[in-house]
Chain A
C-alpha cells in the first residue's frame, strides 16, 4: 500500500498570505489528523477529521482550518500567515477514529513564512 502523501513538500509564503496544504491518507483509512512541528514547541495536534467531520481540535487560533473530502483526502488552510507559522506540518492517517489506533505519518510539508 502507498503511504501517506503530502503536497507540496516545501512552500515559501510571505506574511499575510494564506496557504493550503494537502494530505492523501493510506487507501482505506478514513481518519486524518494534522500536527505542527517546530523546534521550540515540538509536535502539536491541530485537528482530526473523520468521515468529513472535524472530530477534535487542538489549541490553535481560528486562522488554522481544515476539511476532509468524501475520498478521505484532507486539506489544511492557514490564513493571514505569521512568521511563527513557519513549521513542518505533518499529516497522519488511521483506519478509523478513536484512541485505540496507530497513526501513520506522511513526510510533511515544510512551510516557511517570510
Chain B
C-alpha cells in the first residue's frame, strides 16, 4: 500500500527565510506527486504536480519541488517566504497504474510565517 510521510508537523519561519518541507512516499511503482495548500478558511488548492519529465517542477506563488526517485522524496521549496504563505501544506501521491483518482495524503505541515 502507498503511504506518505511529512516529517515536519509545524514549521515557524520569519518572512524572507527559505523554506523546505519534506515529503517521502513508499510505493514501488510509478507515481504521480502533488503538493496541495490549504490557506486558513479556504479549500485545498493545488500548488504543483509531477507526472513525468523534468524532476524539478515549478508551481504557483514561487514554490517548486524536486522529485528524487532514489530517495522516494518530493520536497517542497521556496527561497523566500511571505506572511501570506501561512497555511497547511499537504503532500499527496497516487499510483500511476492504479487507474483511479485516489490520492494518498501526508498528515500535513502547518507553516506559520512571522512578519
- Spell out A's residues near B (CB within 8 Å): 31, 33, 35, 42-45, 48, 50, 55-56, 58, 90, 92, 94, 97-108
Contacts and interface: CB of A to CB of B under 8 A. Distances in A.
9 contacts: A43-B108, A45-B103, A48-B100, A92-B101, A92-B103, A99-B98, A100-B32, A107-B42, A108-B43
The main secondary structure of chain A at its interface with chain B is: strand
Q: Kindly state the interface size class of chain B when it binds its partner.
A: 20 to 34
Interface of B: 32, 34, 36, 42-46, 49, 51, 90, 92, 94-108
B113 to A, nearest CB: 22
Contact of B95 (A44, A99, A106): A99
Contact of A58 (B44, B46, B102, B108): B102
A33 B101 contact: yes
B44 A56 contact: no
Contacts, number: 72
A95 B95 CA distance: 18
Nearest to B52: A100
B102 A33 contact: yes
B43 A107 contact: yes
A108 B44 CA distance: 9
Contacts of B105: 35, 42-44
B60 to A, nearest CB: 13
